[in-house]
A and B are shown apart, each in its own frame.
Chain A
């Protein structure tokens, strides 16, 4: 290290610039028994940032259910892993890349995909699918259009080049995300049980090897950057933008899997946030060991980098691994085959310390554990007054519109509800020839070659519900994801979550956070679906306030026999159509209330976890008994939008459109029955010969069931309220985003 850096006097200003509080600095001094030098301060600053250290969220996250008979790996590693039988397991995780995407949408989103893919193949799993969940301001804003286009392009280019299909996702456009877009990326991988590997450093004297891209000055302080509010200043922190290199990552993935499957490694970890620092101390800490590295041996892209910069750089597409004794040469040979840089930069020790040298001279020496155990805070919380106002909202004050068909057309054209074809057409969702159900149905379905097994997957979030009722909203997020899986016929086996919130240091934001975590936990327990990992993104704030509390849930479902998979669109003329569940008539919290009446308020739908679970079981049994022609969950936009989707989304799989002649069940507000968003509902169809069986299964699980009509014809008819040609619905639904983006 340049002597100038070593000698820098650490002032309160420098401490604050590192995002550390005075008492955190005191704690560091106590741990070390002396003052840290600049390099060491840098280490603590990134590892104790919210992004890496989970200071404000850790206590609550510990309350989430993470165990289950099939869970092979819960939170704490790079990704969770769940057994799917026949010696196979599935690794999956979701992660945010919100702040980088806001600054530089293309590179930010692309590197986000790269990061989550590394988390998967680091476990020894071959990535088989990607998903993404996106939030932007209204598309009427040209700035948002550019952001949206850039993010989608970045996700597309990275996944396409890697050859990993992007099979599902969701996109929401809402005012509250105007200044803080959300980009959550999820990845799924397949691994043989015996090939699972973890991010641990063990075995004194084992070589620590650096592989992948060279280290440059990019992204220094990315982790601390991801943990602070976006201000005008952050446009200055431009070095935090990293450039994606999917080609390098593809080589890294193939080489890494070859190393792991060749049984050459003790442990491996990717370098994501906080780069070399994070991978080094986490591997040492998990392995209960120490690690010693020399930064002079790190392959560098730029001249004159200090140890501080090398340790904190967030250059992408890099990994750190510990080889088994005697295998170092084999490791280097495989990396040479893939034309990758590799350098042995250190060894495993038994000191429990992370020791960093530069050309043999010690420049940092701290206990590895102390970096991974950031302080835990229990922030204050208080219920925002606005929540009572939402609960008190009187629906009766809302007039029922005269022209209900027009309302349906308006909803179908709303970019949040409209087809995301413009998005997923840019994603290669078929590469690897396993995608059986492509984007366009409730869940995507992937087969596992060589077996009958299949995986259903989806990703869902409901920021607006959570802003009105965080506890109920969070339950519904889990329920909706599980319902999407159940509609496809699969059994939910695990989930991952990304919690996107404002500043936890504001009691009102933390109240939301607390209630959302409770809701997620309760739903997860009730459904028996463990949460095997996730990610927290806080400080999604701008001068005009925080974003809606936005928990995102990615869910995995399993088919024992993937041939039974069900899609959401009507199949044949004459098929009978049923509503499972109760129609309801409330308009509270609905997209309809927001779009048609400009009100984002009202009572969030209530969710009975037992009723919901019964529906999932019934849907699964119906699918397994091959009774269903189609099944589609009813969510945003309500019953009418659900039916319209059943009529036209076959187009996504080159099936013809099909109308239906249906009654409108229930009583009460017409608009509530058509567009309200009551929970625990699905629209299913079967051919008439199987009606009795279908009704019997519903009865068996106590699921309310009502025959509402038949599929057929060119128009969607709902009672006497709606009668519209399906072609007209489809034209609006499929092209509304395309037209805006043209």
Chain B
């Protein structure tokens, strides 16, 4: 399966994603500079974490105007798989490929730590290798991961089962204490209506090897490999 990782000025998990895809999952990967428009014919595009444009103004606000994002939008419209991690999630929301927005963490601080997330939907290309309700241990590292959407938007997310992962405790309970950033309804990651675009704040790129303290991120990568890709 072919992956492309977009690289914006200020991306800094681009190498981590590249490493996981190539060295841990054993798949070919291309790095695509933000000024380019040719995605190199991938099956899946990864929009990595980091601080594109320094996160100046608003996270993801400037990156969405990069030439490469037009290609990513076209690719997604054709049904291609697009996963945005952390800053990548923020960019996808800003670009309108995913609904809602990510506000400053409730505690106003950047938080770096492992958290637990509960897999709420398994019929997505990103979670098909998980069991319903499975709890994954995956790190977060962000200052603006507080997911927000208006009530109608939330209803739509629920009706379409677009809430894919939510923050929980180690046993899978969706408690306020296990919600690290104040996200609405403990939302950690969502997909679009067509389910081919996925964004999440936690980092499956940092948790795909036991030596790093968790390999749970592999469930997400394995799901992508197992997904039937169809770019029409």
Number of interface residues of B (CB under 8 A): 35
B114 touches A654 (CB 8 A): yes
Docked complex Cα distance between A164 and B106 (Å): 24
A429 with B112, Cβ < 8 A, contacts A247-B9, A247-B56, A250-B10 known: yes
Whether B54 is near chain A, meaning CB under 8 Å from some CB there, is: yes
Q: Which of B55, B110, B137, B212 contacts A435 (CB 8 A)?
A: B212
Docked complex Cα distance between A248 and B53 (Å): 9
Contact digits for B1-45, partner A, Cβ 8 Å, 1 yes 0 no = 000000001111101100110010000000001000000000000
A425 touches B113 (CB 8 A): yes
B206 touches A250 (CB 8 A): no
A432 touches B15 (CB 8 A): yes
Docked complex Cα distance between A478 and B50 (Å): 36
A426 touches B9 (CB 8 A): no
Number of interface residues of A (CB under 8 A): 33
Docked complex Cα distance between A160 and B50 (Å): 8
B residues less than 8 Å from A194 (CB atoms): none
Number of A-B contacts (CB under 8 A): 85
B10 touches A247 (CB 8 A): yes
A338 touches B9 (CB 8 A): yes
Docked complex Cα distance between A695 and B112 (Å): 39
- Shortest Cβ distance from residue A120 to the other chain B in the assembled complex, whole angstroms: 16
B residues less than 8 Å from A337 (CB atoms): 33
B residues less than 8 Å from A161 (CB atoms): 10, 51, 54-55
A residues less than 8 Å from B20 (CB atoms): 433
Q: Which of B175-219 contact A (CB under 8 A)?
A: 203, 205-206, 209, 211-213
Q: Which of B12, B137, B205 contacts A250 (CB 8 A)?
A: B12
A433 touches B206 (CB 8 A): yes
Complex: chain B residue closest to A433, CB-CB: B16
Docked complex Cα distance between A248 and B54 (Å): 8
B residues less than 8 Å from A424 (CB atoms): 112
Whether A447 is near chain B, meaning CB under 8 Å from some CB there, is: yes
Complex: chain B residue closest to A161, CB-CB: B51
B141 touches A428 (CB 8 A): yes
Whether B139 is near chain A, meaning CB under 8 Å from some CB there, is: yes
B50 touches A430 (CB 8 A): no
Whether A387 is near chain B, meaning CB under 8 Å from some CB there, is: no
Interface of B is mostly: mixed
A163 touches B50 (CB 8 A): yes
Docked complex Cα distance between A94 and B206 (Å): 28
Q: Which of B19, B56, B141 contacts A430 (CB 8 A)?
A: B141
A436 touches B112 (CB 8 A): no
Q: Which of A245, A338, A426, A427 contacts B54 (CB 8 A)?
A: A245
Q: Which of B130-159 contact A (CB under 8 A)?
A: 137, 139, 141, 143
- Shortest Cβ distance from residue B150 to the other chain A in the assembled complex, whole angstroms: 30
A436 with B13, Cβ < 8 A, contacts A161-B51, A427-B112, A430-B141 known: no
A residues less than 8 Å from B19 (CB atoms): 433, 449
B212 touches A250 (CB 8 A): no
Complex: chain A residue closest to B143, CB-CB: A160
B residues less than 8 Å from A447 (CB atoms): 211
A426 with B109, Cβ < 8 A, contacts A163-B50, A247-B53 known: yes
Docked complex Cα distance between A399 and B16 (Å): 56
Docked complex Cα distance between A9 and B9 (Å): 49
Complex: chain A residue closest to B141, CB-CB: A428
B residues less than 8 Å from A435 (CB atoms): 212
A160 with B51, Cβ < 8 A, contacts A250-B9, A426-B112 known: yes
Complex: chain B residue closest to A126, CB-CB: B15
A426 with B110, Cβ < 8 A, contacts A250-B9, A338-B9 known: yes
- Shortest Cβ distance from residue A739 to the other chain B in the assembled complex, whole angstroms: 14
Complex: chain A residue closest to B54, CB-CB: A247
B residues less than 8 Å from A245 (CB atoms): 54
Complex: chain A residue closest to B109, CB-CB: A426
A431 with B54, Cβ < 8 A, contacts A160-B110, A425-B113 known: no
Max chain B C-beta neighbours (<10 A), residue from A160, A245, A433, A438: A433
Docked complex Cα distance between A429 and B206 (Å): 11
Q: Which of A640-695 contact B (CB under 8 A)?
A: 653-654
Q: Which of A162, A250, A425 contacts B109 (CB 8 A)?
A: A425
Q: Which of A397-430 contact B (CB under 8 A)?
A: 424-430
Whether B95 is near chain A, meaning CB under 8 Å from some CB there, is: no
Contact digits for A428-446, partner B, Cβ 8 Å, 1 yes 0 no = 1111110110100000000
Q: Which of A332-363 contact B (CB under 8 A)?
A: 337-339
B110 touches A156 (CB 8 A): yes
B residues less than 8 Å from A427 (CB atoms): 110, 112
Whether A246 is near chain B, meaning CB under 8 Å from some CB there, is: yes
Whether A257 is near chain B, meaning CB under 8 Å from some CB there, is: no
Docked complex Cα distance between A633 and B49 (Å): 36
B residues less than 8 Å from A653 (CB atoms): 213
Docked complex Cα distance between A651 and B113 (Å): 11
A428 touches B212 (CB 8 A): no
A residues less than 8 Å from B110 (CB atoms): 156-157, 160, 426-428
Docked complex Cα distance between A572 and B201 (Å): 33
- Shortest Cβ distance from residue A660 to the other chain B in the assembled complex, whole angstroms: 24
Whether A251 is near chain B, meaning CB under 8 Å from some CB there, is: yes
- Shortest Cβ distance from residue A684 to the other chain B in the assembled complex, whole angstroms: 22
Docked complex Cα distance between A327 and B213 (Å): 45
A251 touches B9 (CB 8 A): yes
A residues less than 8 Å from B13 (CB atoms): 163, 431
Max chain B C-beta neighbours (<10 A), residue from A339, A438, A653: A438
- Shortest Cβ distance from residue A568 to the other chain B in the assembled complex, whole angstroms: 15
Docked complex Cα distance between A654 and B110 (Å): 19
Complex: chain B residue closest to A163, CB-CB: B12
A654 with B141, Cβ < 8 A, contacts A247-B53, A338-B9 known: no
- Shortest Cβ distance from residue A335 to the other chain B in the assembled complex, whole angstroms: 13
- Shortest Cβ distance from residue B170 to the other chain A in the assembled complex, whole angstroms: 8
Docked complex Cα distance between A447 and B49 (Å): 21
B residues less than 8 Å from A162 (CB atoms): 12
Docked complex Cα distance between A283 and B137 (Å): 50
Task: Sort A-B residue pairs by CB-CB distance and give the 9 closest, nearest first.
Answer: A163-B12, A247-B54, A161-B51, A433-B16, A428-B141, A428-B112, A426-B110, A433-B206, A430-B206
22 A-B pairs whose Cβ atoms sit less than 8 Å apart in the complex: A160-B110, A160-B143, A163-B12, A163-B50, A245-B54, A247-B51, A247-B53, A247-B54, A250-B12, A251-B10, A424-B112, A425-B109, A426-B110, A426-B111, A427-B110, A427-B112, A429-B112, A430-B141, A431-B16, A432-B15, A449-B19, A563-B211
| Chain B residues with a Cβ under 8 A of chain A | 9-13, 15-16, 19-20, 23, 33, 49-51, 53-56, 109-114, 137, 139, 141, 143, 203, 205-206, 209, 211-213
Known pairs A160-B110, A563-B211. 16 more at Cβ < 8 A?
A: A163-B11, A250-B12, A251-B10, A337-B33, A425-B109, A425-B111, A426-B111, A428-B110, A430-B139, A430-B141, A430-B203, A431-B13, A431-B49, A432-B15, A654-B137, A654-B213
